[in-house]
Amino acid sequence: MVSPSRLSVAGAVVVLCLVSVIPRATSTVGQIDALSSPSSYVFKSIDFPNAASTQAFGINERGDVVGAYTDTAGNSHGFQLSDGKFRAIDFPGGVLTSARGINDDGAVAGGFAESNDPSVVHGFVLRNGKFLELDFPGSAHSGILGINEAGDVTGSYDLGDINTGIGYFTHRQEFKSFEVPGSAPLSTGPHGINDDGQVVGFYNDGANPNVVHGFLLDDGKFTTIDYPGATVTGFFGINERGDLIGGCTCIDGMGHGLLYTDGQFTIISYPNASHTRPRGINDRGQIVGFYQMAANAPLQGFIATPKHSAE
């Protein structure tokens, strides 16, 4: 699976899902807002109790949040935060569980690794307290990174090399595989899907694999969306309004969170943080993700609520 996030557990490096390593893109879609933290959000930290680190990945319209945390022993677990209460999510018999998306019905999607071979990764859906393992047919490794109201999912899979990735989504439970035209082979990484079946993600450029582009797949048509002057752009979530959330390695050479809405970009930064990684957005415009206050500081989750909704 391409551009993976690696989680170290008990000395082993294991790929769970496509996450945050998205490195220059030259597209001119939209306009640029100033590189500054927006003043139109109320930010709040999300920290799983007694965890060493916390990452928030998905949020539904109700405000339920899912993500992953690392315990003090270095083990990764999924979590859900609803009505101010946390609960851990661990796939039965698996390890390294990560919850990546939640729909308005409360179905949670994500990935886990096999306990006897943590290098083997699978997707899952948790609905009404019951886990369902769900993998792209014939894949060696498969992960789910987003889920919509209909229960359709998106993610990536590989055929044996976990450092590669082929995108997929489901429509009415039918799997559909794809790679972005013009992309480097085996480099497509979809992350989010909304109720209209629009899919967002990122891919490596076919001519220069060090260049990473964001994309939107809508009714079979691909649109490349890049932050102007950025070396890397990628998207991780999309809501019903068509707002895209993601990040870039931008013109200052730093990583930044991005909101793309109505053809314009806005930088999303947790106040005073050194790094901010937005990962999900709901129909109310609430954004979740994670941040660091300094390079060696632990990862902390966050939720950002538009001030007009928070008041």
Taking only the tens place, the pLDDT of each residue in 94-127 is: 999 999 999 999 999 999 999 999 999 999 999 9
User: Where residue 112 sits, what CATH number does that domain have?
Assistant: 2.120.10.30
Is the model more confident about 6 or about 70? 70
Instruction: Indicate the number of domains in the chain.
Output: 1
Compute the average pLDDT of residues 279-298. Answer: 96
Compute the average pLDDT of residues 15-24. Answer: 32
Compute the average pLDDT of residues 174-178. Answer: 98
Range of the domain at 77: 4-310
Full-model pTM: 0.89
| Residue 144 confidence class, pLDDT cut points 50, 70, 90 | very high
Render pLDDT for 145-170 as a digit per residue (tens, 0 to 9): 999 999 999 999 999 998 999 999 99
Q: What is the pLDDT of residue 34?
A: 42
Whether residue 223 is predicted with pLDDT greater than 80 in this model: the reply is: yes
| Distance between CA atoms of residues 70 and 248, nearest Å | 25
Q: What is the pLDDT of residue 311?
A: 55
Q: What is the pLDDT of residue 156?
A: 97
Compute the average pLDDT of residues 58-74. Answer: 98
- Range ranked top by mean pLDDT from 10-14, 38-42, 85-89: 85-89
Percent of the chain topping pLDDT 70? 86
